[in-house]
């Protein structure tokens, strides 16, 4: 595990730089990330570069033994650019042009901004591309944060161009979108505007394509900088970007494609305080963890999502070190929390953890955001944890020396996520919530999962969970068919195959193009209001007999067996869960929206089909397996007993144990 830190030399007098650099090195830091928001300092006037301060900071850090990660500063264009070209500012969904004065204040489709971004990127690459201490580059910062979808005039024109590239003709677009509904048929491309500001809800096919266009806009903008960097930097220097894994406005699978690896920014207490409602069911009891550790299942979900983007190791580009400033309570962080986060990241597949930040900021929005050291330079709580991590580095490296084994893939399709977001049908039906319940079930059994794209390599997985195949086409059906034919076990979930990829309901019996693969027909489907449940009976061990939230009545085809069936009206006698052999594999259609305990029972069944060993992990404990060793992590305030085949163990509160099976 490599350790790094985010540093802002432009925020501090030069007299502090050498001391800071030496103290970082003493604390075990080897990588320093700089220049993230420094455009105004680098180029105070158009075409006039001030390299002196950046040259000195690079040399100061390099002389102290650090490797340097440089950032392109395009997330914060300076005032002189905006003053000269105010059309760079984005327009929000309400039609308001936003102002200068914070960050991320630009439209990704603005051609003028493209040229400025390309020029500053090229200038930095030419200046530092050959520097021996520079190991890589971060493009921009947190695409999608604050502002992901612009609705300006430029975006309107570019959207029309995007549509013309996608569809052969307006007739095809009208057919795909079903514009005959409400007399929305177009006869000129120029008639098609963004979907915002309509009187009633807009056409969901129109909205979905705008979301795709907006996502593609960021990917194209990123590519401008990738290309500019590649022209001047050696192949030994990497190019990456730091995502906010909880954000859903950009298709991160597409964004990751041309990066050397992906990074994400981890703030466990903030995600737990503000993000729990996005992943847990509204009537579900959220696990009780220590107030200052965050929720390891939420954090772990985002680790798995980031690992799955390229199905390979990743970095934590910003790791919380203490109190943050943007959440609900911004809880104080006690000794030990940072150590837990670093070990969890490494066990989840992170190759480097870069801590945010070295010193707390004295000015700007982040004055209440902690660093490893306080505003006056004294050590904060996270610094003591960093020294502990440094002392444990060999132990940590020994544990992660064995490869991370992920036998399970969980499909995440951002187009499906967006389609469900705009038409959930049942309140709180969410793609991520649905995936998260299966992810938690995996973790309860000691199983590691990658959250992956439908276009990913599926051959490395034994089990493929596809709870949300709401949008489906023949390409997806053939890929899933190939996975099961070759011996994989596939689970399909409710609402599978309901629509085509244009967000239009299929003409076929449900689950549409997946019906032959599933070996069952969805005869009826009901969204269930709170306190209403349908009873089922099942041969699956420990499967709770009540279906809530969403229920589908299935008619199995010949050769498909019922794993569970409804035992009372209105679906009495019809299947709730089915299973069929397909080639050398199995297909399970889960016609219920499972609660956590039901998802655990299903995962036990799937693991048995694939002869994958499982663990019985008590609530509050997070366990990782590397080779013959287990890392048992306790994020609660009380010790937790844990039994394995090698013995009985007690894992102390807010601590971990390494166990050899």
Compute the distance between CA of residue 209 and CA of residue 595 in angstroms, rounded to an integer: 32
Residues composing the chain: 661
Residue with tokens 């209403």: 532
**How much of the chain, in percent, has pLDDT values that exceed 70?**
100
Q: Which residues contact 594 (CB under 8 A, 6 or more apart)?
A: 437, 438, 441, 602
Question: What interhelical angle do 381-391 and 393-400 show, nearest 10?
Answer: 60
Q: What are phi and psi of 410, to 5 degrees?
A: -120, 120
Distance, CA of 512 to chain centre: 28
Structure tokens given for 299: 């954090």
Q: Residue 454's beta-bridge partner residues?
A: none
**Residue 81: what pLDDT?**
98
Residue tagged active-site, from 36, 43, 142, 158:
142
Average pLDDT, integer, range 529-557: 97
Compute the distance between CA of residue 3 and CA of residue 108 in angstroms, rounded to an integer: 32
**How much of the chain, in percent, has pLDDT values that exceed 90?**
98
Average pLDDT, integer, range 425-452: 97
Q: What is the dihedral of CA 425, 431, 435, 440, to 10 degrees?
A: -80
**Residue 282: what pLDDT?**
86
- Is 90 exceeded by the pLDDT of residue 482? yes
The reply to whether 648 belongs to the active site is no
Residue 639 has a CB neighbour count (10 Å cut-off) of: 14
Listed in order, strand segments (DSSP E) in 412-456 are 449-452
Compute the distance between CA of residue 538 and CA of residue 545 in angstroms, rounded to an integer: 8
Average pLDDT, integer, range 562-571: 98
DSSP per residue, 67-78: EEEEE--TTS--
Compute the distance between CA of residue 347 and CA of residue 401 in angstroms, rounded to an integer: 10
Q: Residue 33's beta-bridge partner residues?
A: 6, 69
Compute the distance between CA of residue 351 and CA of residue 348 in angstroms, rounded to an integer: 9
Structure tokens given for 544: 């709770």
Q: Which residues contact 637 (CB under 8 A, 6 or more apart)?
A: 290, 653, 654
Listed in order, strand segments (DSSP E) in 117-267 are 134-138, 238-240, 242-243, 263-266
pLDDT 10s digits, 264-321 = 999 999 999 999 999 999 889 889 999 999 999 999 999 999 999 999 999 999 999 9
Average pLDDT, integer, range 351-370: 97
Average pLDDT, integer, range 523-545: 97
Residue tagged active-site, from 318, 448, 552, 579:
318
Can you give the pTM of this predicted structure? 0.97
The reply to whether 318 belongs to the active site is yes
DSSP SS3 for 6: strand
End-to-end, the C-alpha distance of the chain in Å comes to 23
Compute the distance between CA of residue 491 and CA of residue 590 in angstroms, rounded to an integer: 7
Residue 461 has a CB neighbour count (10 Å cut-off) of: 23
DSSP per residue, 310-348: HTS-EEEEEEE-S--SSSSS-----TTHHHHHHHHHHHH
Confidence of residue 250 (pLDDT cuts 50, 70, 90): very high
**Residue 272: what pLDDT?**
96
Q: Which helix (H) or strand (E) holds 520?
A: strand 520-527
Confidence of residue 63 (pLDDT cuts 50, 70, 90): very high
In this structure, are residues 53 and 41 in contact, taking their beta carbons and an 8 Å threshold?
yes
Distances from the Cα of 404 to the Cαs of 143, 354, 435, in angstroms? 28, 21, 21
Residue with tokens 């990330």: 33
Helices (H), 13-51: 17-26, 39-42
- Is 90 exceeded by the pLDDT of residue 489? yes
Of 205, 166, 206, 169, which Cα lies nearest the Cα of 187? Answer: 169
Compute the distance between CA of residue 488 and CA of residue 585 in angstroms, rounded to an integer: 5
> Going from the N-terminus, what domains does the chain have, and what CATH number goes with each?
2-151+218-400 (3.20.20.80), 408-609 (3.40.50.880), 623-660 (no CATH)
pLDDT 10s digits, 92-142 = 999 999 999 999 999 999 999 999 999 999 999 999 999 999 999 999 999
**Residue 176: what pLDDT?**
98
**Average pLDDT, rounded, for the chain:** 97
Average pLDDT, integer, range 500-514: 98
**Residue 661: what pLDDT?**
86
pLDDT 10s digits, 575-613 = 999 999 999 999 999 999 999 999 999 999 999 999 999
**Residue 531: what pLDDT?**
94
Q: Which helix (H) or strand (E) holds 527?
A: strand 520-527
Task: Report the b/e string of 126-135 with b at 16+ CB within 10 A.
Answer: ebbbebebbb
Structure tokens given for 261: 């690896």
């Amino acid at each position: 595990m490599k350790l790094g830190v985010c540093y802002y030399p432009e925020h501090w007098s030069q007299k502090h730089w050498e001391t800071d650099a030496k103290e970082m090195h003493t604390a075990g830091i080897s990588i320093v990330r700089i220049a993230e928001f420094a455009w105004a300092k680098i180029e105070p006037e158009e075409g006039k570069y001030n390299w002196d301060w950046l040259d000195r900071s690079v040399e100061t850090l390099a002389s102290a033994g650090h490797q340097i990660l440089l950032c392109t500063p395009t997330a914060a264009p300076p005032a002189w650019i905006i003053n000269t070209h105010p059309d760079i500012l984005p327009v929000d969904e309400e039609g308001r042009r936003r102002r200068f004065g914070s960050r991320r204040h630009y439209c990704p489709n603005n051609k003028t901004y493209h040229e400025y971004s390309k020029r500053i990127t090229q200038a930095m690459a030419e200046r530092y591309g050959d520097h021996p201490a520079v190991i890589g580059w971060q493009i921009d910062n947190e695409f999608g944060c604050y502002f992901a979808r612009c609705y300006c005039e430029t975006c309107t024109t570019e959207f029309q161009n995007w549509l013309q590239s996608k569809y052969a003709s307006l007739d095809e677009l009208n057919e795909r979108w079903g514009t005959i509904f409400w007399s929305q048929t177009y006869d000129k491309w120029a008639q098609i505007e963004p979907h915002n500001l309509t009187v009633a809800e807009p056409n969901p096919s129109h909205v979905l394509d705008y979301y795709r266009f907006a996502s593609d806009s960021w990917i194209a903008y990123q590519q401008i900088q990738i290309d500019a960097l590649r022209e001047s930097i050696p192949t030994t220097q990497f190019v990456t970007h730091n995502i906010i894994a909880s954000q859903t406005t950009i298709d991160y699978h597409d964004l990751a494609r041309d990066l050397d690896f992906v990074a994400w920014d981890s703030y466990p207490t903030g995600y737990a305080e503000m993000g729990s409602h996005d992943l847990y069911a509204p009537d579900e009891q959220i696990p009780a963890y220590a107030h200052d550790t965050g929720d390891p299942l939420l954090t772990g979900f985002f680790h798995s999502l980031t690992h799955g983007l390229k199905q390979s190791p990743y970095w934590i580009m910003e790791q919380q070190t203490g109190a943050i400033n943007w959440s609900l309570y911004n809880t104080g962080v006690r000794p030990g929390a940072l150590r837990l986060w670093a070990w969890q990241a490494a066990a989840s597949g992170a190759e480097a953890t870069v801590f945010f930040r070295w010193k707390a900021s004295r000015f700007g929005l982040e004055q209440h955001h902690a660093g490893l050291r306080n505003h006056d330079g004294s050590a904060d709580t996270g610094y003591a944890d960093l020294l502990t991590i440094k002392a444990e580095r060999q132990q940590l490296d020994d544990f992660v020396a064995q490869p991370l084994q992920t036998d399970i893939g969980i499909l995440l399709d951002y187009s499906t996520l967006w389609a469900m977001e705009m038409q959930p049908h049942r309140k709180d039906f969410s793609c991520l919530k649905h995936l998260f319940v299966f992810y938690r079930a995996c973790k309860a059994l000691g199983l590691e999962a990658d959250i992956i794209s439908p276009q990913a390599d599926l051959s490395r997985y034994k089990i493929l969970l596809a709870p949300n195949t709401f949008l489906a086409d023949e390409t997806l059906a053939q890929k899933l068919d190939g996975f099961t034919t070759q011996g994989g076990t596939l689970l399909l979930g409710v609402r599978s195959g309901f629509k085509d990829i244009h967000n239009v309901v299929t003409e076929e019996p449900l689950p549409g193009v997946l019906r032959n693969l599933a070996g069952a027909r969805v005869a009826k489907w009901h969204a269930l209001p709170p306190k209403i449940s349908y009873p089922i009976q099942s041969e699956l061990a420990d499967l709770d007999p009540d279906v809530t939230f969403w229920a589908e009545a299935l008619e199995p085809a010949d050769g498909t067996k019922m794993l569970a069936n409804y035992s009372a009206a209105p679906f009495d006698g019809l299947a709730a869960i089915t299973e069929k052999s397909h080639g050398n594999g199995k297909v399970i259609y889960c016609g219920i929206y499972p609660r956590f305990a039901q998802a655990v029972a299903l995962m036990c069944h799937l693991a048995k089909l694939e002869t994958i060993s499982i663990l019985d992990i008590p609530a509050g404990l997070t366990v990782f397996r590397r080779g013959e060793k287990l890392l048992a992590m306790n994020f609660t305030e009380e010790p937790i007993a844990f039994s394995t085949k090698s013995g009985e163990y007690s894992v102390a509160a807010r601590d971990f144990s390494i166990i050899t099976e």
